[in-house]
Amino acid sequence: MTESLSRARILCVGDLMLDRFVQGDVGRISQEAPVPVFRWVSERRMLGGAGNVIANLRALGATAALACRVGCDQEGEEAAALAAECGAELLAVRSSSLPTIQKTRFVAKGNHVLRMDREVVAPLSQEEEDELVSKIEARIADFDLVVLSDYAKGLLSRSFCERTIGVSSRAGKCVYVDPKGRDFRKYAGATLVKPNRVELEAACGVQFDASAPDFMEKVVAAARGLLADAGIKNAVVTLSERGMVYVPGGGGEAVWLPTECREVCDVTGAGDTTMSVLAAARAVGASFRDAMKVANAAAGVVVGKVGTATVSPEELKAAFAGGRSTPMSFEGKVMTLGELAGKVRSWQAGGLKVGFTNGCFDCLHCGHLSSFSQAKEHCDRLVVAVNSDSSVRRLKGPSRPVQDERTRTLVLAGLELVDAVVVFDGDTAMGVVEAIRPDVIAKEGYPIDKWPEARFVASYGGEAVTLKRVDGYSTSSLVGKLG
């Protein structure tokens, strides 16, 4: 089933945010006031809120678009550019009176020092609502299923929800809702609502005791009452470490699935991943039970990562097959460029400094190991980009490489110093550097004026490090001796 998720076509409607992660150091207290001094090191921006839903869908290879509101500001332009970068379409109305929602997290050594929110919570104006409904109505036929991603920032008002669900229903499209707040009646007519335990408790005015023997029965009963009261057909309630439960309307049998997670690092964005995979699976014809299984497996993978993260098709396939692996395992360190970009964003969102180096690495020797060791002193995670076989032949001649790219990448992945490996086909690694934007770039013997990748990293505040060469070691000399 996991391979078929790329055929899904999902329209997401919801609150778009721009997430900023500012990495820095805190080493002293200000003399002006008893507050820490945060020294800026680097900065990352990515799609947040409903934007994380489409990022998850695109990571699966699915077609995704987001209907939303952005401000007439630079942040709105950046959000549109980020959506285009991940291959998603933005159906946006521009507000001249409200800013694009932006959440800025200041992170030092993996710890969040401060979060600063720039937002104005307000519903769409009548003109904006009419425009966005028209955009949805014009494109609804191009999608299999609609997801409402509500972050309680004003977009999904009762009026707008009613009109959007109406447009979707008339077009024969199911509507899945990731809810916020106590008023679930505004989602009346939706096919499915996916509250977590806290959201269900708030909406129903109850509290559940997870240790009680009748815990699951009370959750199911509360969900049934909520469905009947709100006029929604089905519910999937996510229960953190207790897994998730599907509650059909009309008295059908509930289905409970235990969690697939083995180790929790960070639950940020796990709900978006669950909804994305659940919707994609249902869009390509999976039963509710099977869709929950694959969504549950995806959630188990993503909470094992640091920061807001997505799940790759390969990770999902392994997890759904019952043999969950992570990109930190041996072969799992070898990634596609898309997988690597997501992993780097996840590391950086968790406050980790990402380093980068590249080369052919045809015959691994002590000089290479010294370079990796030096580079690792400047970062928490080290990415190594490897020239493809065709790239090596262009650079070194028809007799090279001695070892094919799969062998070279797996040997590198087996090193404890190396955290991720990617193959590139160009004559330079600039494409990889532009895609992942590392915090540190390191290489032997390259001055900045002859090192365009380093100049690019420096342009956004990153660090370029020239590594010391260990004399007496080179791949060419080794190949010559073997010949």
Catalytic residue list? 272
The answer to whether the peptide bond before residue 401 is cis (omega within 30 degrees of 0) is yes
For the four alpha carbons of 383, 391, 59 and 118, in that order, the dihedral sign comes to: positive
Residues 262, 254 contacting (CB under 8 angstroms):
no
- DSSP one-letter code for 12: E
Could you give the CA distance from residue 60 to residue 312 in angstroms, rounded to a whole number?
6
Strand order in the sheet with 381-387: 420-424, 381-387, 354-359, 440-444, 463-467
Amino acid at 128: E
Tokens 């991940």 belong to 86
Largest CA distance in the chain: 80
For the four alpha carbons of 420, 422, 428 and 433, in that order, the dihedral sign comes to: negative
Residues 27, 156 contacting (CB under 8 angstroms):
no
DSSP states of 41-58: EEEEEEEEEHHHHHHHHH
Quote the strand ranges of 98-253, DSSP E: 101-108, 111-118, 145-149, 174-178, 192-193, 234-238, 244-248
Amino acid at 122: A
Could you give the CA distance from residue 43 to residue 21 in angstroms, rounded to a whole number?
6
Residues 268, 308 contacting (CB under 8 angstroms):
yes
